[in-house]
Amino acid sequence: MIRPLLVTLLLSGFFSFGISQTSIIIEHIELCGNKRTRDEILFRELTIRVGDTIPSEALQDLITLNEYRLLNTGLFLRASLQTAPLGDVPGHIGIDIVVKEVLYVVPIPILEFADRNFNVWWVDQKRALDRINYGIDIVHSNLTGRRDVLGVLLQDGYTRKVELDYIIPFINQNQTIGLEGNVLYTRNQEVIYKTINNRQQFFRSEDMFLFHRFRSRVGVVYRPGLWTSHRVTLTFRDYRTESYVQEFLNPDFFGDGRQRQRMVSLRYEWTLDERDILPYPIRGQFVQIGATKDGVGLFRDRDVLFLDGHFARYRPWSDKWSTGTEVYARWFVTRAKQAFYQNKALGYKDLYIRGYEYYVIDGMDFVLLKSAVRYELLNAHIRTFGPFGIEALKRIPIRIYLTANLDCGWVNEPYFSESNPLVNRWLTGGGIGIDCVVLYNKLVRLEFSANDLGEKGVFLHYQFQF
């Protein structure tokens, strides 16, 4: 018993000595450049604190991680952590955090396609100009210096829309509880009333607005640490169509021949987010699990319960090579026939299979796997001059990646399978592409993709975050 204990003590002493010789203690952290943003908002996102003892070999990784965390707030154009040794105290350092704030009040012009993606508008809708939305979205992304966001959107065109948003991430001293609210009203003269052969069917009236939507939502977010959060939202929806839709186009639009649908929804989400760069992750993982109950309280025109999840893993294999894998899934606990309007699965927003951009696969349950191998072609800054030489855009960061992609997905549809042959079967698609990331959070994808139907084409996707 004595010999093993002695060996343990000797080893313990050896490793403690090693750690003490190669460790660094953070003596102070100073902030510079945050003219509007409060200091506590920056400190809330850091993984390091004054007094921390860290291995010297881990210092650079911690610096890079914390620079990304500050950029992920959306408050800064640039963020850098600069270290300096304290000459009179060996092994002790100070850290200066230098940030460049974005322009917080931004009137963002709206010019967007009403269709699901660029290719549908260009090919199926023959570049129709009456399918474009235009307007303005006035956003203050740091209203009180606490990272709170106020947005007012006014839109005309294909969809007439008025929307008001307010998000405050922290309302308590410990910065763990936040609130969010949203009010939305839209109306359209055209309605998507059915899906046939996995293609959306449209009906337009020149004399009246066929579809009206009103939505109001309040939410509470609890974020106890850096990586996990809990969100509970309560949403009221009031949707209405003209009687022609139910009488002549689709009596199942809202289900049971309803012309109006009102409901209160309760949703819970748990999120683990360890991604390094949120708009285009290279390293880390993301997990989100949610449960939604439509039909709570007084308004229960829709009464269902469903679960959903999103899982993602990103891994660098070298300085240039990396992989990304994402899995999306949804399962309806309530197995009754769904209203057409809420029966969407794949083909919407980011939930698409490459090569199937022209199709929608509606249904109740689904699984989607998206994977990519990426090679970094360029990582640089572009210097601007002339009219673009304003302070915020003097150095524009740009990254370009060559990608190889493979997706597969499956949708379960027990009620409308006869008119939509792509449901209840596995679908596969993929190809090669170029991803371009500009200003940290603007992403453009140009891809050549093919699907297992033998169809192929060039597809354009984009994500612009402000």
Q: Would you state the pLDDT for residue 306?
A: 98
| Cα 18 to Cα 11, 27, 55, 303, 448, distances in angstroms | 10, 21, 10, 62, 53
29: left (phi over 0), alpha (psi -120 to 50) or beta: beta
| Cα 108 to Cα 129, 241, 243, 363, distances in angstroms | 20, 31, 36, 35
Residue 97 binned pLDDT confidence (cut-offs 50, 70, 90)? very high
The answer to whether residues 240 and 208 touch, using CB atoms and an 8 Å cutoff, is: no
| Distance, CA of 302 to CA of 295 (rounded, Å) | 5
Q: Would you state the pLDDT for residue 466?
A: 55
Q: Would you state the pLDDT for residue 78?
A: 87
| Distance, CA of 247 to CA of 165 (rounded, Å) | 36
Q: Classify domain 18-101 at the CATH superfamily level.
A: membrane protein fhac (3.10.20.310)
Question: Can you give the residue ranges of every domain in the chain?
Answer: 18-101, 343-466
| Distance, CA of 196 to CA of 382 (rounded, Å) | 47
In this predicted structure, the answer to whether residue 1 has a pLDDT above a threshold of 70 is no
Determine the average pLDDT of the residues in 59-86: 91
Q: State CA 447 to chain mean position distance.
A: 20
Point out the least confidently predicted range of 87-101, 315-329, 387-401: 387-401
Residue 202's CB is within 10 A of a number of other CB atoms, namely 14
In terms of DSSP bridges, do strands 23-32 and 92-101 run parallel, antiparallel, or are they unpaired? parallel
231 or 418, which is more confident? Answer: 231
The answer to whether residues 71 and 97 touch, using CB atoms and an 8 Å cutoff, is: no
**Could you read off the pLDDT of 234-285 as tens digits, one per residue?**
999 999 999 999 999 999 999 988 999 999 999 999 999 999 999 899 999 9
Nearest to 264 by CA among 221, 235, 228: 235
Question: What residue type is assigned to position 332 of the chain?
Answer: F
In this predicted structure, the answer to whether residue 15 has a pLDDT above a threshold of 70 is no
Q: Would you state the pLDDT for residue 385?
A: 60
Determine the average pLDDT of the residues in 431-444: 91
Residue 222 binned pLDDT confidence (cut-offs 50, 70, 90)? very high
Tokens representing residue 244 in the block: 């022609």
In this predicted structure, the answer to whether residue 10 has a pLDDT above a threshold of 50 is no
Which residues 6+ apart lie within 8 Å of 357 measured at CB? 116, 117, 119, 120, 347, 449, 457, 459
Determine the average pLDDT of the residues in 333-340: 93
Instruction: Give exposure, 164-191, as e/b (b: 16+ Cβ within 10 Å).
Output: ebbbbbbeeeebbbbebebebebbbbbb
The answer, as to whether pTM is greater than 0.85, is yes
Q: Would you state the pLDDT for residue 391?
A: 57
Chain position carrying tokens 């880390």: 284
Backbone angles phi, psi at 69, to 5 degrees: -65, -35
| Distance, CA of 75 to CA of 5 (rounded, Å) | 54
Question: What residue type is assigned to position 139 of the chain?
Answer: V
Question: What residue type is assigned to position 188 of the chain?
Answer: N
Q: Would you state the pLDDT for residue 299?
A: 87
Residue 8's CB is within 10 A of a number of other CB atoms, namely 10
Residue 85 binned pLDDT confidence (cut-offs 50, 70, 90)? confident
Rg (C-alpha) for the chain, rounded Å, is 26
In this predicted structure, the answer to whether residue 19 has a pLDDT above a threshold of 90 is no
The neighbouring-strand residues paired with 399 are: 379, 437
Chain position carrying tokens 């343990």: 8
Output the 3-class SS for the chain. Answer: CHHHHHHHHHHHHHHHHHHHHCEEEEEEEEEECCCCCCHHHHHHHCCCCCCCEEEHHHHHHHHHHHHHHHHCCCCEEEEEEEEEECCCCCCEEEEEEEEEECCCEEEEEEEEECCCCHHHHHHHCCCCHHHEEEEEEEEECCCCCCCCEEEEEEEEECEEEEEEEEEECCCCCCCCEEEEEEEEEEEECEEEEEEECCEEEEEECCCCCCEEEEEEEEEEEECCCCCEEEEEEEEEEEEEECHHHHHHHCCCCCCCCCCEEEEEEEEEEEEEECCCCCCCCCCEEEEEEEEEEEEECCEEEEEEEEEEEEEEEEEECCCCEEEEEEEEEEEECCCCCCCHHHCCCECECCECCCCCCCCCECCCEEEEEEEEEEEEEEEEEEECCHHHCCHHHCEEEEEEEEEEEEEEEEEECCCCCCCCCCCCCEEEEEEEEEEEEECCCEEEEEEEEEECCCCEEEEEEEEECC
